[in-house]
Amino acid sequence: MDIKWMKKTLLVVSIQMIAGIVYAAEEPALGGYEAVDQQDAEKEAESKASESAEQVAKPETVQQQASSALQQKEGDATKETNLQEVFTSNERQYSLIKKGEISGFYDVDYTYYRDTRLDLSIENNAVNQLRVEEDANHTLTNTFTAQYGVLDNLTFTASLPLVAKADKLKDATTAGLGDISFGARWEPFPLKAGRLPLILFGNVSTKTGDSPYEINSATDLSTGKGYYSVGAGASTRKYIDPVVLFASVSANYGFKESGLNQRRGTRTVEEFEPGISGGFAFGFAYSFNYDVSMTMSYQQSFNTESKFTYTTGETYTPADQTSSTLAISLGVRVNPETIINGTVGIGLTEDAPDVSLGLSFPLDIVGFGKKLR
């Protein structure tokens, strides 16, 4: 009985062992799945590498074309040179032109003064007349400017203004030639890294316009200042991405006019001394992109020590005048070599124009500018 059960037990155990061996033969070895995955990954990597090699072997890929297009070509304007060009197109006292080159500009400027005056008459300590008068003065100036590069660091300029005026209080208008002026800009030191550029400038202004001291001051208008003057100044600029900072200072001296015979009230003006005038300006220019830029500046000028001498020997010294203006200019590039600037100025003091408007563009667009051989 025991022998029979032992035989059955051995038979069952043998069957189980055989089944286990067969199952183990079909089971992959430990780590077999990972080995298969690693082989597939290696094959995929080799395939991608071969594809990349084929792309590199091509004459020029799309990525290479884009990179090549973005690279700066010779003669292309950098961001700095573009901003400098835009800035100096409007603020010309901060720049020079190359030797042998000539260029021209046309500027049209409009200024508007508005004032309130009292017409007052006092006799025997009593007011006989009191009238409030509103005065408005409109001035339109068309200026043609030519400049010539004598040397790379020396530029000569000449300006011809045509002036038109209208005065509401006098109910008068006039138009004619203004005061022709000549100037020069000189850069004494070559540009050097870490050093601010310095430009010295000077000008001589004539009295070709109608003098305010040789007309009937009660009914007529002038187109000039009425005396010769000389001036000098200096300017500098600094490029700090993405703007250009600039500043300038200047002074002018007017020569005395004598031999006058202008009636003013009950007296006659015989001599006039313009005195000394000067000013300063500072601001910044910012380029939005290659075609559009903006310049903002603050300008202040003063006039002092002027004096009138009358035929009676009496003298009169007017109060010192101070004029301050905030100007905003927008420059638009209409073609690769032409920039047109529009300017709006707001007067900040009583002696400054209430509003001033300006438009400037180079005459090169009509064939004026060229390089002399």
Mean of pLDDT values over 284-303: 91
Could you report the per-residue pLDDT of 325-337, keeping only the tens digit for each? 999 999 898 888 7
CATH class of 79-371: mainly beta
**pLDDT of 79 higher than 90:** no
Angle at 340 (CA atoms; ends 339, 346), nearest 5 degrees: 130
Mean pLDDT of the chain: 79
Which structure tokens are listed for 367?
Answer: 């064939």
* DSSP line for 193-254: TTS--EEEEEEEE---SPPTTSS-TTT---SS-SS-EEEEEEEEEEEETTEEEEEEEEEEEE
Confidence of residue 85 (pLDDT cuts 50, 70, 90): low
The owner of tokens 């090699």 is 53
The owner of tokens 């603050």 is 298
**pLDDT of 228 higher than 60:** yes
Could you report the per-residue pLDDT of 123-165, keeping only the tens digit for each? 667 666 666 667 789 999 999 999 999 999 999 999 999 999 9
Count CB atoms within 10 A of the CB of residue 368: 15
CA distance 145 to 92: 11
Q: Quick one: which of 135, 142, 140, 143 has its CA closest to 165?
A: 140
Angle at 248 (CA atoms; ends 242, 251), nearest 5 degrees: 170
Q: Are 241 and 257 in contact (CB under 8 A)?
A: no
Mean of pLDDT values over 7-18: 49
pLDDT score of 322: 93
pLDDT score of 343: 95
pLDDT score of 96: 87
pLDDT score of 93: 65
The top-scoring range by mean pLDDT among 7-21, 125-139, 143-157, 187-201 is: 143-157
**pLDDT of 173 higher than 70:** yes
**pLDDT of 198 higher than 70:** yes
Residue 41 CA to its chain's centroid (Å): 60
Mean of pLDDT values over 309-334: 92
Q: Quick one: which of 154, 146, 110 has its CA closest to 363?
A: 146
Peptide linkage before 242 cis (omega within 30 of 0): yes
Q: Are 283 and 238 in contact (CB under 8 A)?
A: no
**pLDDT of 224 higher than 90:** yes
pLDDT score of 55: 42
Residue 4 CA to its chain's centroid (Å): 115
pLDDT score of 133: 65
Count CB atoms within 10 A of the CB of residue 120: 11
The owner of tokens 């430009």 is 199
pLDDT score of 349: 93
The top-scoring range by mean pLDDT among 2-6, 138-142, 190-194 is: 138-142
Could you report the per-residue pLDDT of 249-270, keeping only the tens digit for each? 999 999 999 999 999 888 899 9
pLDDT score of 258: 93
Higher pLDDT, 229 or 267: 229
CA distance 45 to 49: 6
**pLDDT of 194 higher than 70:** yes
Q: Quick one: which of 113, 219, 116, 142 has its CA closest to 173?
A: 219
pLDDT score of 249: 97
Helix then strand count (H, E) for the chain reads: 4, 18
Three-class DSSP labels, 154-178:
EEEEEEEEEEEEEECCCCEEEEEEC
pLDDT score of 361: 87
Residue 49 parent element (H or E): helix 32-57
Higher pLDDT, 241 or 87: 241
Judged by average pLDDT, the poorest of 346-350, 356-360, 361-365 is 361-365
The percentage of residues in the chain with a pLDDT greater than 90, rounded to a whole number, is: 49
Which structure tokens are listed for 135?
Answer: 């005065």
pLDDT score of 38: 44
pLDDT score of 84: 64
pLDDT score of 265: 80
* DSSP line for 19-36: HHHHHHHHSPPTTHHHHH
pLDDT score of 190: 86
pLDDT score of 368: 53
Residues with Cβ < 8 Å from 286, sequence gap 6 or more? 83, 242, 243, 244, 293, 294, 295
The percentage of residues in the chain with a pLDDT greater than 70, rounded to a whole number, is: 68
Mean of pLDDT values over 268-275: 94
pLDDT score of 117: 67
